[in-house]
Amino acid sequence: MSVFGTLDIAGSGMHVSRFWLDTISHNLANANTVRPGDEEPFRAQMVVARERLSTAGGPGQGVEVSAVIRQQGDPVRVFDPAHPEADAQGYVTMPLVDLAGQMADLILATRSYQMNVQVLQDAREAYQSALKIGQR
């Protein structure tokens, strides 16, 4: 780890949090996207993060996005023959987006970003204070 490793780790956390926030906003924007009954529905995406390991068993190097997976499960089909996206039988396929879960994730991702920003600011202040040692 470099002397400024704290900055690198906090920066990687901010990157993952921003990516997570972008993914959540994409999911929320498509929460009402319907498809004809015979088409695959919109499925919410979920971000999977992992630790960036260092060589030789040293301390970690931060975090990174390891995968983006789609929500699993069977879509809800709603009978609405008047809907413009209804299939021949009158069904519309609803998106697989858990709004309550997305809002909870939004709070977590926002807090994660805020905490990494705070770590970055604290580390910067500590480094600046260390540079002033012995000056008079």
**What is the structure's pLDDT at 7?**
85
**What is the structure's pLDDT at 136?**
62
Instruction: Report the C-alpha gap between 93 and 85 in whole angstroms.
Output: 9
The confidence band for 2, taking pLDDT boundaries of 50, 70 and 90, is low
**What is the structure's pLDDT at 3?**
62
Question: Among 17-31, 58-72, 93-107, which stretch is predicted with the lowest mean pLDDT?
Answer: 58-72
Instruction: Report the C-alpha gap between 35 and 121 in whole angstroms.
Output: 46
**Order of all β-strands in the sheet with 91-93:** 35-36, 91-93, 77-79
Is pLDDT above 60 for 77? Answer: yes
**Where are the chain's structural domains?**
5-131
Q: What is the mean pLDDT of residues 74-87?
A: 88
Place of tokens 């770590």: 119
Number of helices and strands (H, E) in the chain? 2, 5
Sign of the alpha-carbon torsion through 66, 14, 24, 103: positive
**What is the structure's pLDDT at 1?**
53
Q: Which residues pair with 92 in a beta bridge?
A: 36, 78
Kindly give, in sequence order, each residue whose CB lies less than 8 Å from that of residue 47, ignoring residues fewer than 6 positions away. Answer: 16, 19, 20, 23, 65, 67, 68
pLDDT in tens, 94-131: 999 999 999 999 999 999 999 999 999 998 888 888 88
Instruction: Report the C-alpha gap between 127 and 123 in whole angstroms.
Output: 6
**What is the structure's pLDDT at 49?**
95
